[in-house]
């Protein structure tokens, strides 16, 4: 873990000072490189010096990510000492008070979000994870910086080699009145060797290149290229005793398959007799209308899933447990209603695709996720689940929309219940 030493490195201090030389300052690079802390110190100085000629805003993908990534660190006395008390915020509110100044918190998760700032005059803006913003919102934000001393401070991990932020802004930084600071883990003095090793072990593929090496790289090839049946697949009848069946994730289809995967958590005993909590994809229900040559109605799909849920999903020597949550594809509105009418209440899945993929990849890479041989659809898909090369050409990270139904079902279950299983599974990333 990071140490409790809050001291800044020379590079962090240099970036704070140099951030004033341009209208836009961007801190970019690896996770835990110290870029966020440096940018937040620069932000506090900028807030203190703001003249009141326009709004002060913090922008992130959602209000929740702003609270987690920006507000909570600003309120941490281990990081900001006595200044931590100068950030006041009620969770869920779209404003905060920082150094006595009102600050607006703006979620920008789609192109329509630019309406939130249209017409505003903004004196000072902070952007968290700039690569996740729609380009239209970024461009609108720049037009709102219309006082003579308006400034924009931003952080991000690298994205695609062809991402608009890199191509249109970073490569043309001087012309854009922009200064860019590149950070790696070596620039953060608070990291222990153990933490760095854990972080490096948690990533693979493009996520290692971007989040550990700090490189802008295209997503290509197999998404879960770390998948190894010898390491990740186990026999169902060899499952350890489950503590809890966390959730069933459901991906809904009519012409496409409908898939449901059961996620549980248990202690895994390694070769040395040590016990480690792990997640298990335990069982799967799947219906393919093309294979069966018959489309099912929502009512028929609901009956199939409910009958499957009523069956035992664990080996005979284990207690009969039921899943705590039913996590459903957020686009399946009609099926949600049908399940509710049939007495099965579902929760809308967190469908942040890239972040969900990163989480599943980290679990596989670190050995914290195992899949039983009953999840035949997932196992069949995993080696065919690939990045979309055409999307990468225009700077986007997207999976090809094929061989993804069971993949989506498990991703829904894992990502949506992350706050539950992370209390037990110690995942670095």
DSSP 276-304: EEEEEEEEEEEE-HHHHT-PPPHHHHHHH
Domains, the chain, ordered by start: 10-201 (3.40.50.300), 229-422 (3.30.420.280)
Arithmetic mean of pLDDT, 259-275: 86
Q: Which residues, in sequence order, are bridge partners of residue 95?
A: 104
In whole angstroms, give the CA distance from residue 242 to residue 287.
Answer: 26
For the chain, what's the residue count?
A: 429
Q: What is the CA radius of gyration of the chain?
A: 23
Arithmetic mean of pLDDT, 23-51: 96
At 5 the pLDDT is 47
3-state SS assignment for residue 340: helix
pLDDT (tens digit per residue) in 387-406: 999 999 999 999 999 999 99
Does residue 428 carry a pLDDT above 90? no
Helix (H) / strand (E) element for 348: namely strand 347-348
In whole angstroms, give the CA distance from residue 27 to residue 46.
Answer: 15
In whole angstroms, give the CA distance from residue 38 to residue 7.
Answer: 11
Does residue 4 carry a pLDDT above 60? no
CA atoms within 13 A on the CB side of 53: 13
User: In the structure, what pLDDT confidence band is assigned to residue 1 with cuts at 50, 70 and 90?
Assistant: very low
As a whole number, the mean pLDDT across the chain is 93
The runs of H, that is alpha helices, within 72-169 are 72-74, 77-80, 135-144, 164
Q: Which two tokens stand for residue 107?
A: 């979620």
**In the chain, what is the straight-line distance between the N-terminal and C-terminal CA atoms, in Å?**
11
Does residue 292 carry a pLDDT above 80? no
Arithmetic mean of pLDDT, 144-160: 96
Does residue 163 carry a pLDDT above 80? yes
Packing angle, helices 353-365 and 193-202, rounded to 10: 110
Does residue 376 carry a pLDDT above 80? yes
Where are any strands of DSSP class E within 5-135?
24-29, 55-60, 87-88, 95-98, 101-107, 122-127
Task: Let me know: does 16 contact 38? Beta carbons within 8 Å.
Answer: yes
Task: Let me know: does 255 contact 289? Beta carbons within 8 Å.
Answer: yes
- DSSP letter (8 states) at residue 336: H
In whole angstroms, give the CA distance from residue 160 to residue 407.
Answer: 22
The more confident residue out of 326 and 320 is 326
3-state SS assignment for residue 75: coil
CA angle, corner 367, sides to 361 and 373, nearest 5? 90
Does residue 120 carry a pLDDT above 70? yes
How much of the chain exceeds pLDDT 90, in percent?
84
- DSSP letter (8 states) at residue 8: P
81 — alpha (psi -120 to 50), left (phi > 0) or beta? left
The more confident residue out of 294 and 304 is 304
């Amino acid at each position: 873990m990071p140490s409790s030493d809050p001291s800044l490195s020379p590079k962090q201090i240099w970036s704070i000072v140099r951030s004033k030389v341009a209208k836009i300052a961007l801190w970019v690079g690896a996770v835990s490189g110290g870029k966020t802390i440096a940018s937040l110190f620069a932000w506090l100085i900028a807030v203190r010096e703001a003249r009141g000629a326009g709004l002060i805003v913090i922008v992130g993908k959602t209000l929740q990510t702003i609270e987690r990534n920006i507000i909570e660190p600003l309120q941490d006395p281990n990081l900001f000492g006595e200044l931590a008390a100068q950030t006041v915020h009620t969770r869920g509110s779209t404003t905060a008070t920082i150094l006595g100044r009102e600050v607006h918190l703006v979620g920008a998760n789609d192109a329509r979000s630019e309406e939130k700032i249209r017409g505003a005059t903004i004196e000072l803006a902070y952007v968290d994870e700039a690569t996740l913003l729609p380009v239209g919102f970024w461009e609108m934000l720049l037009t709102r910086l219309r006082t003579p001393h308006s400034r924009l401070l931003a952080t991000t991990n690298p994205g695609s080699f062809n991402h608009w932020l890199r191509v249109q802004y970073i490569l043309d930084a001087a012309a854009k009145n922009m200064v860019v600071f590149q950070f790696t883990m070596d620039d953060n003095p608070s990291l222990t060797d153990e933490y760095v090793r854990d972080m490096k072990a948690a990533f693979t593929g493009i996520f290692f290149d971007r989040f550990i090496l700090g490189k802008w790289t295209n997503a290509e090839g197999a998404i879960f290229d770390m998948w190894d049946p010898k390491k990740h697949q186990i026999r169902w009848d060899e499952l350890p005793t489950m503590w809890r069946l966390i959730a069933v994730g459901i991906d809904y289809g009519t012409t496409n398959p409908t898939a449901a995967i059961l996620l549980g958590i248990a202690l895994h005993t390694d070769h040395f007799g040590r016990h480690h909590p792990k997640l298990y994809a335990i069982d799967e229900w799947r219906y393919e209308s093309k294979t069966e040559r018959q489309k099912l109605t929502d009512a028929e799909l609901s009956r199939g899933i409910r009958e499957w849920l009523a069956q035992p999903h664990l080996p005979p020597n284990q207690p009969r447990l039921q899943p705590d949550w039913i996590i459903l594809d957020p686009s399946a509105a009609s099926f949600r209603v049908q399940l509710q009418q049939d007495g099965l209440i579902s929760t809308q899945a967190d469908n942040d695709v890239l972040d969900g993929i990163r989480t599943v990849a980290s679990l596989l890479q670190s050995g914290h996720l195992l899949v039983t041989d009953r999840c035949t659809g997932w196992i069949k898909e995993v080696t065919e689940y690939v990045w979309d090369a055409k999307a990468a050409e225009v700077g986007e990270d997207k999976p090809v929309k094929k061989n993804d139904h069971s993949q989506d079902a498990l991703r829904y279950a894992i990502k949506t219940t992350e706050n539950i299983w992370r209390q037990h599974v110690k995942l670095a990333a």
